[in-house]
Amino acid sequence: MAHYLALLQDAYLIAPLERFSQLTHRRRAAPPKLVMLNNALLSVMHPEGPPDPQHEPSRFGLWVGNACLAFANNQGQRVTYWREEPLEIDAVFQGSWGDWAIEIKTGGFHSYDLKGLLEFCRRNTKFRPLVITAPGDESIARRSGLLAISWKQLLVYGPPQP
C-alpha cells in the first residue's frame, strides 16, 4: 500500500499530510491524512460528480475542505493536521503565507464548534486562527473574535495578509 501511495504522490495526484506535533515521534506515529491535489479526481470517482451543497452538505463540506488543503499545498505551503482527542482542527499552514491554524466550516456552526481551534492556538501561540466558512457565514466566527474568510476568497486570494 505504501508503494502505491508513493507512486500517487510522485505523480502529484495526492499529498499525505502528517500530524502536527513538536515531537518527531508523534508526527511519525500518526497515520497521514490524504488530500487529492485536484478536486476533478474526486468528481470522477463519484458516480454523480461534484456534490450538490443543498442535497449533500456533508460530501460538499469534504469536497471544499479538500480543495482548500490542496490549494495551500499546491501554493507551496507546508500543510499538516492536528488532532488530540477529542479536539482537532482541519489544518495547520506554514510557509510564505505565515503560520495559520485552520478550521473549515461549510455549513452552519456555533462558537463551541471552534474549541479545537482555540485550544490549538492557546498551546501554539505563533499560529493565527482562521475560520474558512461558506460565503456569508464569516460573521459567526467573527462574533467569537476570530478572523474568518469564505472558502471562495481563500481559493482566489489565499489567507488574509497580516
- For 20-77, the pLDDT digits (tens) are 987 665 556 678 899 999 999 888 888 888 899 999 999 999 999 999 999 999 999 9
Q: What is the pLDDT of residue 27?
A: 57
Amino acid, res. 20: F
E strand or H helix that includes residue 15? strand 14-17
Q: What is the pLDDT of residue 2?
A: 82
Q: Can you tell me the distance from the alpha carbon of 113 to that of 131, in angstroms, rounded to the nearest whole number?
A: 11
> pLDDT tens digits, residue range 82-128?
999 999 999 999 999 999 999 999 988 998 999 999 999 999 999 99
Of 71, 77, 40, the closest CA to residue 153 belongs to 71
Answer yes or no: pTM beyond 0.75. Answer: yes
Q: How far apart are the first and last CA of the chain?
A: 41
CA dihedral over 3, 34, 69, 114, signed as positive or negative: negative
E strand or H helix that includes residue 131? strand 128-133
Q: What is the pLDDT of residue 26?
A: 59
Q: What is the pLDDT of residue 108?
A: 86
Structural domains for the chain: 2-157 (3.40.1350)
E strand or H helix that includes residue 36? strand 33-36
**Phi, psi values for residue 98, rounded to 5°:** 110, -165
